[in-house]
Structure 1
Amino acid sequence: MDNRIREHAETLVDWSARIESGDDVVLSVAEGAHDLAVAVAEALGARGANVVTTYASEEVSRAYLRAHAGDFETSEHELALYERADSVLILGGGRNTFATADVDGETRQAAARAKQPIREARMATDWMSTVHPTRALAQQAGMSYEAYRDFVYEAILRDWEALAEEMAQLKQLLDDGNEVHLVSERTDLRMSIEGRNAINSAASVAYDSHNLPSGEVFTAPYDTEGEVVFDVPMTISGARVRDVWLRFEDGRVVDFSAESGENTIADLLDTDEGAPRLGELGIGMNRGIDRITDNILFDEKMGDTVHLALGRAYDACLPEGESGNDSAVHVDLITDVSENSRLEIDGEVVQRNGRFRWEDGFEP
């Protein structure tokens, strides 16, 4: 076994999930993540955790969704599993990234709505999501398998404490700010952030962070006005999406288009009342991610990118007692800010052309 797999597992169990003896852990394993699952199970056993392993396959999901007759109902037995869990570790890495491409949008929406209580229960745990490098993911990224493995571990096996210290600077600016203004050649978007709590997403539940790799600072915007273009191509629900344009008024999407995948965006926006509103503004800061790979776990953390999520807002970003945007979906869309762009907080430029004001190369 590649020793980096064991390092990955140790980072996930110790730094990210902070697993302790006696913790009840659900280990969700994708089709191609077997080797990582073995290493994680070994680490969990050494720490005295109690583990239930589940199998996560997009091909299995496709078969179920296409054959399903009647209305979808929330699975009470699955809900009970997550309600009793302390931690959920999700190991991604499938065999076919487009396995569910031929599941119709209406079915997806109905299944997502039925799954929402389960998703809420899972997100109430100390959950973490990561990915094991597979040949399918390498192919999707347009890379050789060997190069893709190097890329993945460069993004994951980082000095997370040092990165957390750097990202804390942006968190403070967002916490103190009232409005974010994002500007580029085809984007002019304003978002209110007053009273919201930004998350220093340093790949650990200790930072309210739930992805490995991570390396972003995010918050929950509202009262969105203007337009934005997402020029980073990506796969959503098994469909290729490119150059998505959204126009917001009074916090909601009122018009949209896409060069490809427009029907997918339409289905997404039609999911429920919360889907046409923003649930997240995220700013990528992981310089170990140096290219787009069509995998949201990596792409949204890349330096020189900003992403916005349609749908659900994370509770950690909200003041106590306040409810943010509620939806059965949370789908990220990414824009490249490496050229001809700026990010302002209350009129002050904090990032220009991908460089933050504390980085070399920043132009005021």
Structure 2
Amino acid sequence: MDERVREHATVLVDWSARIDAGDDVVVSVGPAAHDLGVAVLEVLGERGANPVIINAATELQSAYLDAREREFDEDPAHELALYRNADSVLLLGGGRNTAELADVPGETRQEYRRSRAGIREARMDTDWVSTQHPTRSLAQQAGMSYRAYQDFVYGAVLRDWEALAGEMDRLKDVLDDGSEVRLIKAETDLTMAIEGRTAVNSAASVAYDSHNLPSGEVFTAPYATEGTVLFDVPMTIDGRRVQDVRLTFEDGEVVDWSAAQGEAVVTETVETDAGARRLGELGIGMNRGIDRVTDNILFDEKMGETVHLALGRAYDATLPEGETGNQSAVHVDMITDTSEDARMLVDDEVVQRNGRFRWEDGFEDA
């Protein structure tokens, strides 16, 4: 086994999930993430945790959804109990076919998501962390050789997370003190309110209210969104290619949308429920170890010189205690490139220009 797999598992268990002896842990393992699953279970055994292992093969989910002929039961009790009784959930992504769910009708996916709303909330109430094992299918999707893709993944995952957390704190402070964010670039002029929100320094650890490995972003929950945005970074959503998505917001809600490719996917997303037409997240990528688009949202949204916005559910960590943010059965991220002819302003002051932050070398010349 590649020693980096063991390092990945150790970072996930110790830094990201902060698992201790006696913790009850659900481990969801993709079929091509077997090696990472083995390494994670070894580390959990050494730490004295109590794991339950789930086979997360998308082929199994696809078979079930295709065969279902009646309405889905709402939040089946046995599945709900699993997550309500878990301390942590580790999601080890790694499938054989990234398009496995592409043939499942969109209406079926929507109904299934809505039927599992309580289960999803119970899972998100745990110290959950999602990560990705480098697989051949993902390397192919990224247009890379398997060896190069492995190097890419571990370059993004095996970082000095404490050092990056210190750097990202500078942007967190700016957003915490701000009232409004404006994003300006070609075909984009979007304004979002952030007053009263808390920005999350997403340093790949639940100790930072961060639930992805790799991470490397600062995010918050915007509201009162106005204007238009072009998402020019291509991506795959539910196994289907989506490119050049344009959204127009009025009074915080999507009122018009289009896409050069995959418009049906966007339509299915915004029509899931009322909350799917509103933003649940504004995220700014700061992980410069991710230096190329790979058509994998877990990595691409953290890339330096990008901004992503998510339609749907807002994360509680960004909200004042006792306040409920945007609710939805979906949380769908879309990315825009801010490396050229782009500005991000907070309260009318330029914080990022052409991908460079105002405290970075080269900002004035960007």
State the one-letter code of the partner of 1:176.
Answer: D
**1:270 and 2:271 equivalent?**
yes
Give the unaligned 5+ runs of structure 1.
Answer: none
- 3-state DSSP class of the match of 1:128? strand
Query: Is 1:40 the equivalent of 2:29?
Result: no
- Pairwise CA distance, 1:102: 0.6
C-alpha displacement at 1:363, in angstroms?
2.1
Number of the residue aligned with 2:350: 349
Partner AA of 1:338 in structure 2: S
Structure 1 vs Structure 2 CA RMSD: 0.6
Q: Secondary structure at the match of 1:122?
A: helix
- With structure 2 as the length reference, what TM-score do the two structures score? 0.99
Task: State the partner residue of 2:28.
Answer: 28
Question: Aligned equivalents of 1:144 and 1:360: distance in 2?
Answer: 33
Deviations 1:288-341 (A, max 9, x none): 000000000000000010000000000110001111000000000000000000
Matched-pair identity in %: 71
Q: What does residue range 69-108 of structure 1 map to in structure 2 within 5 Å?
A: 69-73=69-73, 74-108=75-109
Q: Report runs of 4+ in structure 1 exceeding 4 Å deviation.
A: none
**Corresponding position of 2:140:** 139
Secondary structure at the aligned position of 2:40 is classed as helix
Post-superposition CA distance 1:228-259 (Å, at most 9, x none) = 00000000011100000000000000001000
Which residue of structure 2 lines up, in the alignment, with residue 312 of structure 1? 313
Shift of residue 36, structure 1, vs aligned partner:
0.3
Separation in structure 2 between the aligned mates of residue 267 and residue 51 of structure 1, nearest angstrom: 36
Unmatched 5+ stretches in structure 2: none
What are the superposed Cα offsets for residues 41-95 of structure 1, whole Å, 9 maximum, x if unpaired? 0000000000100010111111110110110112211110000000000000100
Q: Distance in 1 between matches of 2:182 and 2:281?
A: 14
In the other structure, the counterpart of 1:64 is 64
Aligned partner letter, 1:16: S
SS in 1 for 2:114: helix
TM-score for the superposition, normalised by structure 1: 0.99
Q: How many residues align?
A: 364
The AA in structure 2 aligned to 1:334 is: I
Aligned counterparts of 1:87 and 1:94: Cα–Cα separation in 2: 22
In the alignment, the residues of structure 2 paired with residue 360 and residue 58 of structure 1 have an alpha-carbon distance, to the nearest angstrom, of 44
1:185 match: 186
Partner of 2:252: 251
> Partners in 2 of 1:344 and 1:107 — Cα distance?
40
1:200 maps to 2:191: no
- How far apart, in 2, do the equivalents of 1:354 and 1:133 lie? 27
**2:290: which partner in 1?**
289
| CA offset digits 1:132-167 (Å, max 9, x no partner) | 000000000000000000000000000000000000
Q: What's the secondary structure of 1:274's corresponding residue?
A: helix
Distance 1:30 1:283 in 2: 28
**Structure 2 Cα separation of the partners of residues 277 and 76 of structure 1:** 30
Secondary structure at the aligned position of 1:194 is classed as coil
The Cα of 1:185 is off from its aligned counterpart by 1.1
Taking the aligned partners of 1:81 and 1:147, their CA distance within structure 2 comes to 38
